[in-house]
Chain A
Amino acid sequence: MPREIALFDALVPTLLPIFLASLLLQWGLDWLVGRFGLYRHVWHPPLFRLALFACVFGGLGLLAMR
């Protein structure tokens, strides 16, 4: 994929929409994990959330930039 894409005629980094998409995905995952109470099995929930987001964003970004 190109490094920059035109969004309404403004050039934005491709990573920006990916970032927003992973925020959405993260929100959904977070909801699911909270819904089933899985955070009780996690030592440090905020760190876990952060790590999960890093995985989601990193994975999507690497996929797109391949």
Chain B
Amino acid sequence: MSAAAERLSGSTSRVRPGEVFAWLRGAALDWLFVAKATFAVLLTGWLAMRFDLEQPGTAMMTVAIVIHPQSGMVIAKSFYRTLGTLVGCAVAFAIVGAFPQQRVPFLACTALWIGLCAGGASLQRNFRSYGFVLAGYTAAIVALPVVTHPQNVFDSAVMRVSEVMLGIFVAGIVSDAIFPQRLGDVLRDGVRSQFANFIVFVRDSLRGALPRADLEKAHLRFVREVVQIESQRSSVVFEDAGVRQRSPRLRLFNHAFMAASTSYHSLHHLLNRLQGEAHAPVRERLMMLAGELADALGPSGSEPRVAAQAPALAQRLSGLHERLVAQARGLRAGLHARAERLDFDTGAELVMRIAAELHDYTDAYALLASPRAARGLVEPAPFSHANDWAGAAIVVVRATLTMFAMGLFWLDTAWPEGAGAMLIATIFSGLMATLPDPLRAIRYMLVGYALGIVAGIACVYGVLIHMDGFVLFCAALVPFLLPGFYLSARPAWPGVGAGYLLALLYTIAAKNPMDYNALHSINDSLSQLLGVGGAGVAFMLFAGTSDSPWLLRRLLHKLRMQLVHACEWPLRGLLPRFESASRDVAAQIVAHTRAGSPPSREGLAWSLAVQETGRAVIELRMALAQAEVSARLRDDIEAALAALADLYATPGNERYARARRLIAAAIDEAAAHPALRSPLHLIRLALLDTGSVLGAHVPAEEKPHAA
């Protein structure tokens, strides 16, 4: 998904020589990956045969699964695959030991374990989820071949672990040591361009107004970038220790970015609400203040230069606060009406906050880009995720029932390959559950599997049968492997390449000596197709988030609940937690909906509202914790917050009116405390905004004036 998004955002219509060169470079990198992957698969096959492993084919399949263009991804995936395999083995011992001769409890127990693992996987964001799925189906891979003679379970486990480990080691070493394409470099480029883009975006848009549609678009981009950086960060730490040292700084950078982008959005919402003649004096003064900040961000220049000037920029921003305060005082003197002053104070405070947060952000970037090792850095707050338990429960039920149904089919038909079908169905119902659109992925996978099976049978019975020796074996395999790896290097048809490779290697089932049994091959292939199809049926019966309006509504509710948490949870560490968790949910909604569709737009609109209001709520609560205020004011503010939380938990006209009334009352009460008044005013403005998602609750008679 990320690669596709990058391609989309970077697309331009004109072709220049530089682009041709970049395209050639990309193509060369793709082919380098294809060559490395093919080499790794063949090397693994050779080693596995030298070591006399039972199924060299399994080791080769492991390589095909783990290999990825970027070495950090391979190592991260390998690490979790190792953990998953070991845990799965241990569970296989336990299950076989508990039910050695009873097939139904054995099946039920395995199915339940696999379901629980798949459910656990759906709660994770990075390759950890892969480890969970692995822990599930490794148990089945180890236990199934020995159902009839349980005393062999230990040997079976040792063999599977050896094969998988061999594949992992070879894949890791080949991808990391031979012409590595490092994830660290990708991440560094991503961070640099994010920094430069954001600074340029702020600088160019500070002087004018941004319409809501553009704000939504920018918000969507920022949410994606934040989540992507976090996910790459969690993989890149495996790549080398130097990057690992910098991981806390990267977190700090991401948190600074989230804070700055939220404040920036708030400022634009405020400016948008101040459109119209009546507000012109306030708006013009705020624009002058914002212009000062834009000047500090430097003259317009190309993006690469912005990144190089980060330390200088941080210095400029650190001296800005005094100037802004002085200028704000001068500008304020020209305003006399109370409402105008309130608007101006709120806006001026926002501009200053943005200046301070941009300074932190620039500072974090400058630190990140400097080559010196980090010292004395406090561990920043982790990136919080927010999960929907109902979604996970559906995953558990789906995987368990898939395995159980396919298992019963296997037992009733006594088809020897039924176990294979069951295994494949279970694997995919676990693996695919973490993808944004599993049904589509399964369809691609099925196409890949069909192609791979045809290619595999052609390879074994057309070519391999005439070959003798390992060199000729490789020569026969290479032409069949190349298209698979090429397809998986290109994101155009996600899953086709992977499906093709898995089916190909499974059908070939490399062994020494090779086993040519056409009947078995065809039976096996059928069982594979049936398994993938079975997983597809499971996804149709138990729809995931992308196909289930119910789950989507729950995610939306989860998003709104982030604001409730912002109102209620203890303040310690709340800000980073709120900023990351609310973006995490928004990213989930975006991933599970088609871009521009009504649910996707609704999710984004709510996300903007939650982000802006939640931030103001936290600022308010922090100010309240420090200020010395009367008990009455404190009670008023707490009542207003409770009403706001109520409104977001279940939106409705009555609750909306109540929240508005209580907040207005609190603002009147807080006249003597500007630090409390500004965030309250921001919250109120967000409620009054007819363009926002809460605009539907604004009483009809107010609408024309507010617009």
Interface residues of A (CB under 8 A from B): 10, 30-31, 33-37, 39-40, 44-47, 49-50
Given known contacts A36-B373, A37-B372, A46 and B241 CB-to-CB distance under 8 angstroms: no
Q: What 5 A-B pairs come out closest when comparing CB atoms?
A: A34-B241, A46-B176, A37-B373, A34-B242, A30-B241
- Docked Cα-Cα span, A44 to B635, in Å, equals 63
Looking at the assembled complex, report how far the CB atom of B162 sits from the nearest CB atom of chain A, in whole angstroms.
Answer: 11
A/B interface sample: 25 pairs, CB < 8 A: A30-B240, A31-B241, A31-B244, A33-B241, A34-B240, A34-B241, A34-B242, A34-B244, A35-B245, A35-B373, A37-B242, A37-B245, A37-B371, A37-B372, A37-B373, A39-B241, A40-B242, A40-B371, A44-B177, A45-B240, A46-B176, A46-B180, A46-B240, A49-B176, A49-B240
- Please state if A50 and B173 are interface contacts (CB–CB under 8 Å): yes
Output the nearest chain B residue to A31 by Cβ-Cβ distance.
B241
Looking at the assembled complex, report how far the CB atom of B462 sits from the nearest CB atom of chain A, in whole angstroms.
Answer: 38
Looking at the assembled complex, report how far the CB atom of B249 sits from the nearest CB atom of chain A, in whole angstroms.
Answer: 14
- A-side contacts of B177, CB under 8 Å: 44, 46-47, 50
Interface residues of B (CB under 8 A from A): 71, 154, 173, 176-177, 180, 240-242, 244-245, 371-373
- Docked Cα-Cα span, A49 to B176, in Å, equals 10
- B-side contacts of A44, CB under 8 Å: 177
- Docked Cα-Cα span, A65 to B223, in Å, equals 56
- Please state if B240 and A39 are interface contacts (CB–CB under 8 Å): yes
- Docked Cα-Cα span, A35 to B374, in Å, equals 8
- A-side contacts of B244, CB under 8 Å: 31, 34
- B-side contacts of A35, CB under 8 Å: 241, 245, 373
- A-side contacts of B371, CB under 8 Å: 37, 40
Output the nearest chain A residue to B180 by Cβ-Cβ distance.
A46
Looking at the assembled complex, report how far the CB atom of A4 sits from the nearest CB atom of chain B, in whole angstroms.
Answer: 13
Looking at the assembled complex, report how far the CB atom of A56 sits from the nearest CB atom of chain B, in whole angstroms.
Answer: 15
Looking at the assembled complex, report how far the CB atom of A45 sits from the nearest CB atom of chain B, in whole angstroms.
Answer: 6
A interface secondary structure, majority: helix
- B-side contacts of A39, CB under 8 Å: 240-242
- Please state if A10 and B245 are interface contacts (CB–CB under 8 Å): no
Looking at the assembled complex, report how far the CB atom of B58 sits from the nearest CB atom of chain A, in whole angstroms.
Answer: 20
Extra pairs beyond A35-B245, A45-B242, A49-B176 (8, CB < 8 Å):
A31-B241, A33-B241, A34-B240, A34-B241, A34-B244, A37-B371, A40-B242, A46-B177
- B-side contacts of A40, CB under 8 Å: 242, 371
Looking at the assembled complex, report how far the CB atom of A63 sits from the nearest CB atom of chain B, in whole angstroms.
Answer: 22
Looking at the assembled complex, report how far the CB atom of B155 sits from the nearest CB atom of chain A, in whole angstroms.
Answer: 11
Output the nearest chain B residue to A30 by Cβ-Cβ distance.
B241
- B-side contacts of A37, CB under 8 Å: 242, 245, 371-373
Looking at the assembled complex, report how far the CB atom of A39 sits from the nearest CB atom of chain B, in whole angstroms.
Answer: 5
- A-side contacts of B245, CB under 8 Å: 34-35, 37
Q: Which of A37, A39, A45 has the most CB of B within 10 A?
A: A45
Looking at the assembled complex, report how far the CB atom of B569 sits from the nearest CB atom of chain A, in whole angstroms.
Answer: 35
- Docked Cα-Cα span, A60 to B177, in Å, equals 23
Looking at the assembled complex, report how far the CB atom of A60 sits from the nearest CB atom of chain B, in whole angstroms.
Answer: 17
Q: Which of B176, B242, B245 has the most CB of A within 10 A?
A: B242
- B-side contacts of A10, CB under 8 Å: 154
Looking at the assembled complex, report how far the CB atom of B331 sits from the nearest CB atom of chain A, in whole angstroms.
Answer: 48
- A-side contacts of B242, CB under 8 Å: 34, 37, 39-40, 45
Output the nearest chain B residue to A50 by Cβ-Cβ distance.
B177
Output the nearest chain B residue to A46 by Cβ-Cβ distance.
B176
Output the nearest chain A residue to B375 by Cβ-Cβ distance.
A35
Looking at the assembled complex, report how far the CB atom of B182 sits from the nearest CB atom of chain A, in whole angstroms.
Answer: 8
- A-side contacts of B240, CB under 8 Å: 30, 34, 39, 45-46, 49
Looking at the assembled complex, report how far the CB atom of A11 sits from the nearest CB atom of chain B, in whole angstroms.
Answer: 11
